[in-house]
Structure 1
């Protein structure tokens, strides 16, 4: 029997380290409702820990259902992660139009003046095309994420800004895996539960 020189369950890691604007792509068997087949955009990564938002876990709620003074908003509310699930955060492409926003990628920003955002939404100057809302966030203590990456729970990668902001998230985990290359493509064919074959 010939020994293979690779392991499809432990493909070569990317050369990327966690950083603001990069994403974590879950390995196919990572369990749980928050992180199973998830993609997490990192918005903070430093000696104090890491913060990010799961991009592909929409709910059946809408921000205008839980924020009284948003008159109408078509985009769903996404689950950002298991931490502080009673908080509301947002990503957007409004840039410097929104005071206090933090630049994450070339066109995606995090947070900013919420009162100003609500006014922009109500005036039709911001919509689900430019704003994505999250309840809760994903957080790691110092060193915790590095340990999880070493255990092959996550692949560090990048994601096009249009995929970060899209509402059509059904297949973006698969898309991200395909863009990583051939070995990772095989991961998209694995069943969600490894006991199924």
Structure 2
């Protein structure tokens, strides 16, 4: 019983002398704990990771289309119903009986590194089309009329620097493993998800 009595005396003497300090520590703890805990939870929150396995060998130029579409956009995009919609292009027009396509680029579209997408960045490798870049539009002059051409330019465009491929999409290429000229693994990351 004397142990509890002495403990009570020491505790009451401490609180009488330092009650302001104790009250301040309790108050600060109550106020800061949710803030610190919320920040810690946000910091430790793991991104959803999706693993995709592909059979075969691919290079950077032959990445599967669905992977490319996560990383970047083309001038257009094709939705799940097969309807062609604008992507990097704000709109387009068809001229010369379907032989000329004029795509007007959207303003203030950026690459993943923050640089603005320019007309000169839009590069497609078409052997049977003449590509004419102007100030804010890309003109494709075809040899023959080709009605589904807007669907063809839904192919994502990329800008490549020395170490990686840069797109305009939600996912960035953060890691790439190569075996010779072929890619063995690619890791893409967005603010919410990781794809390996």
TM-score higher than 0.5: no
Bigger relative contact order, structure 1 or 2 (CA pairs below 8 A, ≥6 apart): 1
Higher share in helix: 2
Q: With structure 2 as the length reference, what TM-score do the two structures score? A: 0.31
Rg larger for: 2
